Amino acid sequence: MENYISKHIIRVAFLVLSVLVTLGGCSEPIKKYHSKRLFLAPDAESSNAGLRLFWSGAASVVIDDGTHSVLIDPFVSRQENSVFDIVFRRDAVVAECRINERVKRPEIARAKTILVGHSHYDHSLDVAEFARLTKAQVFGSLSTQRILRAHDHTTATRVTANDVLEKDDVDGRFKITVFASKHGNPPVCLEPFGCLNPLADTVPDSFELPAAVTEYGEGEVYAFFVEHKFGNVLHVGSAGVMSGTLDHLKGQVDVVLLSLVGRGPTEAFLKNIVAAVNPDYVIPIHFDNLFRSLDAETRVAKIAKLSEFFEVMERDYPNVNTGVIPFDEPWNLPHRGASDG
């Protein structure tokens, strides 16, 4: 019994430590990477016609054409759900006031579509409230559908790998293809405890509120290829490796939005994504300390190894542009054939 208790204490201590290290406790200011900032393309600056991307931490992205927009993994309930809430399995909290404020931003107010890449809380928790306020249609896994139902949003559509969403689903301005993807690795692994992942694998049919942060289980993991006449964007919302899945997209992707936390060896990771699709731009996402307010200075989780990511990109893919974009600032895709669609 004593042995059991001490093992349990060590396990909890290890969990606290690994979650702290992984998700935020150990971080550095974004200022260090200001020289890597991606600037607006000059031709896009002079014209409103085009696609604009916004990143607001974790995998939360807006793709906006000025008329309609697509939200992917919208998430703002950051400081409301701390490391300790994860470790001690406290109930997840949706920052409704903050979402209310956020949907006043024009690029979010005109959202018609919300995509959810997997159903961990930092991807799915806020989706129902965003959907309620914007009236956007939600697409995600079965786990995501169950979470939304518990949040009183009953019209989310389940998608599976290789589904294509077009006119009937997303009003024809965007075409979205769903790709099977993988989740990044769990935090730190230590014998004899293995890799401790505090978050559930899936969301059961019985899921109801209130629910612990950890009950927002992973479910199926998807990447989304979003096509628009002004440019094509691949969103990889978790840093799993997908050998061969994306190869046929070679030459079609303008921008990859690439999650970094939890990736395996960087070379192999980039080979399966960047070498596979050969994009013009790779913009890293999901490298920030996600427990900090969006209004506070962005901090980079050290475990995201952002410096190493840039080193490998610059060495192995010198022709691919890469750099950070600040939270909530528009980044305009360089124009592609605005008149041919």
Nearer to Zn ion, 44 or 301 (CB): 301
Is cis: bond before 210, omega within 30 of 0?
yes
Per the rule left: phi > 0, alpha: psi between -120 and 50, beta: everything else, 251 is left
- Angle among Cα 188, 189, 191 to the nearest 5 degrees reads 145
Minimum distance from residue 218 beta carbon to Zn ion (Å): 6
Residue 112 near Zn ion by CB under 5 A:
no
Tokens of 169: 């689903």
Minimum distance from residue 283 beta carbon to Zn ion (Å): 19
Minimum distance from residue 19 beta carbon to Zn ion (Å): 13
Minimum distance from residue 139 beta carbon to Zn ion (Å): 17
Nearer to Zn ion, 214 or 332 (CB): 214
Task: Please identify which residue in 120, 151, 182, 228 interacts with Zn ion, judged by CB under 5 A.
Answer: 120
Per the rule left: phi > 0, alpha: psi between -120 and 50, beta: everything else, 190 is beta
* Cα distance between residue 100 and residue 96, in whole Å: 6
Tokens of 234: 């691949």
Minimum distance from residue 328 beta carbon to Zn ion (Å): 22
Minimum distance from residue 231 beta carbon to Zn ion (Å): 27
Minimum distance from residue 296 beta carbon to Zn ion (Å): 22
Which part of the chain contacts Zn ion (CB under 5 A), choosing from 18-26, 117-125, 145-153, 163-171? Answer: 117-125
Please enumerate in sequence order all residues whose Cβ is within 8 A of that of 307, keeping only pairs 6 or more positions apart, or say none. Answer: none
Tokens of 33: 């990477």
Nearer to Zn ion, 119 or 177 (CB): 119
Nearer to Zn ion, 214 or 232 (CB): 214
Query: What residue is closest to Zn ion based on CB?
Result: 120
Residue 335 near Zn ion by CB under 5 A:
no
48 backbone dihedrals φ, ψ, rounded to 5°: -80, -25
# of chain residues touching Zn ion (CB under 5 A) = 1
Nearer to Zn ion, 40 or 161 (CB): 161
Residue 286 near Zn ion by CB under 5 A:
no
* Cα distance between residue 81 and residue 71, in whole Å: 21
Residue 263 near Zn ion by CB under 5 A:
no
Nearer to Zn ion, 120 or 263 (CB): 120
How distant, in Å, are the alpha carbons of 40, 218, 230, 264, 312 from that of 46? 10, 42, 15, 40, 33
Task: State the residues that interact with Zn ion by CB under 5 A.
Answer: 120
